[in-house]
Structure 1
């Protein structure tokens, strides 16, 4: 079964959680690309915020309402993809260089829902971990981070340099704390289980739904 088929199945299952009148955070990436037409077909009355210009442009082309984040301070639900999904709900995100915005939206959501194809399910997270770094003092920040390399990629939607932490990630909470404490590191791509309410992973023609809502309580 193709990866694209799995992405579509996971997305359509998650999209059923969205109801008329909701505020919705729209993620970024190839899996989320299937979410937008699924929502457009249902013609719901929604208030949406996009986590990247690419998602916003695609949503507007489908006549989905997208407004600035400044006008909304919480979301009923946010749906996004992931690069890696561990069994306990830890995620690696940032392949599309929008993880800072994605994490802000996830934290502002009552229900953060992750959608993925079966290739994103892993037994344990592994490097690299995406980073967004301030341009100011970039060389000094990278020295403090040690095992990090700049990615040959466009800047983030907010102008940050995109890098990848290549060090060991055996202690996820410890690594997250370390990366979060470095001045000049805007945000890292480790998303803890406390942010995640639901994970939909498609495998072949079926979709596994893992509910982590208790971890958010």
Structure 2
């Protein structure tokens, strides 16, 4: 018998359900990657089955594409979809200005491209992801495999000029081998502890040859749906509100993305 959901999974599920209810018929939708996006895909599949909801989805990773296809979501690539109405994705951290740190699941480049091609971006997260200052979660930076050590050294030289509390940089691994993104790149995780000026750091990182993209999402998100362990949700950004607890506590199958970031 499946175990009942933990408070964190309950919060993720509640946020995902609230966001899924905001999806309108015939939308072109960017679908994120991660443990919270897993619940979004499940709820969209439920709406497709029960309501006949028609949407077109653009997945941000191969894992998302596989799950979304099984849920009955019609998928196309970004070129075929053109401009998207909405992207819904998770985040590893967000601040009160709705700046984000993303990339814990390794899909930050595609996630940022899809978000930038959307009219709106909604983030779904549990309340622990809301921070006063970004940086406690390691900042992912996607880099080319060619010359990655030189790119790492250039980032190390850059960091002392920024308002940070840490400077450790580690190459992300998949077991004993380097983690490789869907785009064939590597990820350096920057353990900064505090990012005093996210906009400036994002700009300066992207000026380094070999850096493909950073996990700082600045000016892309306009709404965050926060889930709580008792099933409540709240929306910050473009609207505000509290939803009733609903039916948050019940058995569910394992979240296949539970070990990934958002």
> TM-score scaled to structure 1, two decimals?
0.93
Q: 1:166 & 1:179 partners in 2: Cα distance?
A: 14
Paired residues of 1:155 and 1:161 also in contact (CA < 8 A): yes
Q: 1:73 & 1:181 partners in 2: Cα distance?
A: 27
**Structure 1 residue 142 displacement after superposition:** 1.0
Is 1:69–2:78 an aligned residue pair? yes
Alignment root-mean-square deviation, CA:
1.4
Which residue in 2 is equivalent to 1:5? Answer: 10
**Structure 1 residue 74 displacement after superposition:** 1.1
Which residue in 2 is equivalent to 1:139? Answer: 149
Q: 1:111 & 1:66 partners in 2: Cα distance?
A: 19
Paired residues of 2:83 and 2:118 also in contact (CA < 8 A): yes
Q: 1:138 & 1:149 partners in 2: Cα distance?
A: 12
Q: Which is bigger in relative contact order (C-alpha 8 A, separation at least 6)?
A: 2
The runs of 5 or more residues in structure 2 that have no matched partner are: 1-5, 157-166, 240-262
**Structure 1 residue 119 displacement after superposition:** 1.4
Matches within 5 A, 1:10-159: 10-43=15-48, 44-127=53-136, 128-146=138-156, 147=167, 148-153=169-174, 154-159=179-184
Moved over 4 A (4+): none
The runs of 5 or more residues in structure 1 that have no matched partner are: none
Partner secondary structure for residue 186 of structure 1: strand
Q: 1:180 & 1:201 partners in 2: Cα distance?
A: 30
Query: Higher Cα Rg: structure 1 or 2?
Result: 2
**Structure 1 residue 212 displacement after superposition:** 4.5
Task: Identify which of 228, 253, 256 aligns with 1:203.
Answer: 228
**Structure 1 residue 196 displacement after superposition:** 0.8
Is 1:182–2:208 an aligned residue pair? yes
Q: 2:43 & 2:197 partners in 1: Cα distance?
A: 38
> TM-score scaled to structure 2, two decimals?
0.78
